[in-house]
Amino acid sequence: MTADRLATRFAACKKAGRAALITFVTAGDPTAADTPAILDALVEGGADIIELGMPFTDPMADGPAIELANLRSLGSGTKTKDIFALAAAFRDRHPDTPLVLMGYANTMLARGPDWFADQCKAAGVDGVICVDVPPEEDAEIGPALRAAGIHLIRLATPTTDAARLPAVLNGASGFLYHVAVAGITGKQQAAQAAVEQAVAKLKAATDLPIAVGFGVRSADQAAAIGRVADGVVVGSAIVDIVGSHGNAAAPFVKDFVAALRDALNANSPHFRETAA
């Protein structure tokens, strides 16, 4: 990998004394023509890392908000080629902001793992989260991504015990995504005590940055999680804004993301010294 944008961004956030803000939207929601403005709004609002969802007809890990976003995107005709075009154009506009594709194996492997990995590399994608391929069954996409210099970001859950964690970490890079609730996105809120316990366990097992997502919907939640994790992932709450405002969503997205970023900034001792 010629430039490790993920490592650079996590290091910059650590130096600033705050967690990275990681935001998620679905590519092509409501249409592929609307997505660039929404992605730009995420960056302008202060997102450090962006996850771009690849729409899929059966998003088993996602709740109603992202499921509806997938249906809006697919209904508007979004194709895989459009997602890579969006990613490449984003990279041209934002050369330093890490971009991660998140989705499901059917979409990623339809043309083969090497094709997918090559497209990621050509578009300037930094990492991939494949939700439904467990590490024990990863004979295809992981090796292809690593060969192309793309981070494979793995998921750990509340049920990932000490016996299985080494398998999850084997071949993982970029960061480790801790799924804070045992369920689908957007429906439950993570219990802070459980998050703190899980992050401590994961930090004892790996040097990878630990990002926490699923069930993070407010600035207060983000700030609390950001005090213990290296990154905070917010998705469904942003996707709900897109669902409510459609092609006029960008300014509302920017304002919401800015509030999240302000909450994370407030955790930083540098920020508190400046504000004093």
| Average pLDDT of span 24-29 | 96
Q: Which residues are catalytic?
A: 51, 62
Nearest in space to 25 (alpha carbons), one of 3, 9, 10, 47: 47
pLDDT above 70: residue 88: yes
Question: What pLDDT was estimated at residue 58?
Answer: 77
Domains of the chain and any CATH numbers: 5-266 (3.20.20.70)
CB 181 within 8 A of CB 214: yes
The DSSP secondary-structure symbol of 137 reads G
d(C-alpha 51, C-alpha 87), whole Å: 11
| Model pLDDT, residue 65 | 82
* Integer Cα distance of 67 and 208 in angstroms: 30
φ, ψ dihedrals at 125, nearest 5°? -75, 140
CB 177 within 8 A of CB 153: yes
What is the C-alpha separation between 273 and 66, in angstroms, rounded? 39
Measure CA 70 to chain center: 16
Classify 219 as helix, strand or coil.
helix
Query: How is residue 143 written in tokens?
Result: 């090796």
Q: Please report, for the chain, how many H helices and E strands are present, in that order.
A: 13, 9
* pLDDT tens-digit map of 202-259: 999 999 999 999 888 899 999 999 999 999 999 999 999 999 999 999 999 999 999 9
Could you report the per-residue pLDDT of 154-177, keeping only the tens digit for each?
Answer: 999 988 999 999 999 999 999 999
Question: Is the Cβ–Cβ distance between 24 and 239 less than 8 Å?
Answer: yes
pLDDT-derived band at 59 (thresholds 50, 70, 90) equals low
